Structure formats: C-alpha cells, structure tokens
Amino acid sequence: MQFQGFSSDVIDSAYDLLLTAVADGGGTYTSEGRTKIDPIGYIVGGNDRHPARILPACRRESVDLMVTPERVSLTAAWLSQLPRTGAGPLTIGIWWDSDGDGRVYLDVVDVIDDRAEAISLARQRNELSIYDAAAGETIDTSSPTDDRLEQLWRETAAECMLFHDDDCTCAHRIYAS
C-alpha cells in the first residue's frame, strides 16, 4: 500500500508506535512519535489540544493483523495533524486495550506530578483512568458519561467495517448500524 501524502518520517513513526502498542501494550512519546519517554508521574489523557483517535482492532495478537497498512495510514494521519506550534511541545500516548476489545488508542496526554491533581483532571476530562508511570499501574478514575468515548467509537465504526471481515467481533460493529 502506498502512503500518499505522508513523509517517510511520519510513516516510520506511525509504524513504530503501533509496534510498541502490540509489543509493550503502549507508551508515551514526544509529539513527533519517534522518541519514547519514560515520564515520572501520572499520565492523563483527554488533552483538548488535539482530538484522541481510536484505531479499529480486534482481539488478535498477531503483529501482521494489528499493524496493517490501514492502521499505519490512520496513525500517520493523526500524527500529521498534531499542532506543531502553540503552548509548547505535546506528549502523546498510545496503548492497546489487549484485555478489552483490542482497540488502539492515540491521545495527547499530560504528565502530572501529583496523584490527586491527576485524578481531578482526569475526572474533569471524563477519562476512564490515568496511568501511574512509576508504579506501572492504571488507576480507575470512575465512570465517565461515556459521551466522548461513544462519539469516538461511532467515528471509528465505518473504518472498522473496512478493515475487518464479516465474522469480526470488534465492538465497533455495534455502532455501524
């Protein structure tokens, strides 16, 4: 598949991010997507400087099935739309919900030093959880209204239908009707 409209650096970054999601479950990166960082603190998604992206994926652990040209292209498109100017550099997070329905999430994140502040910010943003980088643990921040997440699922449903066969059990299929 040709990746028209994207530089080779953006394609390489997209590919590397997806490989990280499959191999390690995810990670935190500088905004160009090439430099992995190991932050100390709490990772909070939902930064409104750029919309999150949910990539369609099923419960399939094969790299060949997870890191497809279509997903690389979708990730490259998301990376290429990140704001390059403004209020400082962005930190991005990617993670694969391997225990859930297999979606891959891309989001602009904030690294917060204080746990209570991170939880408060996550609740303001309707985030499901935060990530404690030092402990390597996810912290539940209570159930959001699900409006933001449901909208992302709906936006992703049509793409999911393009990538998966008819017997796919991906949760996106329920939103395609």
Q: Domain range spanning residue 13?
A: 8-143
Question: Could you read off the pLDDT tens digit of each residue along the chain, which spans 177 residues?
Answer: 557 788 888 899 898 888 888 788 888 988 777 788 888 899 999 888 788 888 875 555 566 667 888 888 888 999 988 876 666 678 899 888 777 667 788 899 999 999 999 999 999 888 888 999 999 898 988 654 556 556 666 666 655 555 555 555 554 444 444
158 falls within a domain: no
172 falls within a domain: no
42 falls within a domain: yes
78 falls within a domain: yes
Tally of structural domains, the chain: 1
125 falls within a domain: yes
pTM (2 decimals)? 0.73
Tell me the H-state helices in 81-166. Answer: 115-124, 147-163
Q: Which tokens in the block code for residue 148?
A: 């933001």
118 falls within a domain: yes
Q: How far apart are the first and last CA of the chain?
A: 29
28 falls within a domain: yes
66 falls within a domain: yes
Strand stretches in 11-158, DSSP E? 26-30, 36-37, 42-44, 53-55, 91-96, 104-112, 129-132, 137-140
User: Is residue 166 a contact partner of residue 64, using CB atoms and an 8 Å limit?
Assistant: no
Q: What is the spatial distance between Cα 82 and Cα 62, in angstroms, rounded to a whole number?
A: 29
Q: Which tokens in the block code for residue 55?
A: 């990539």
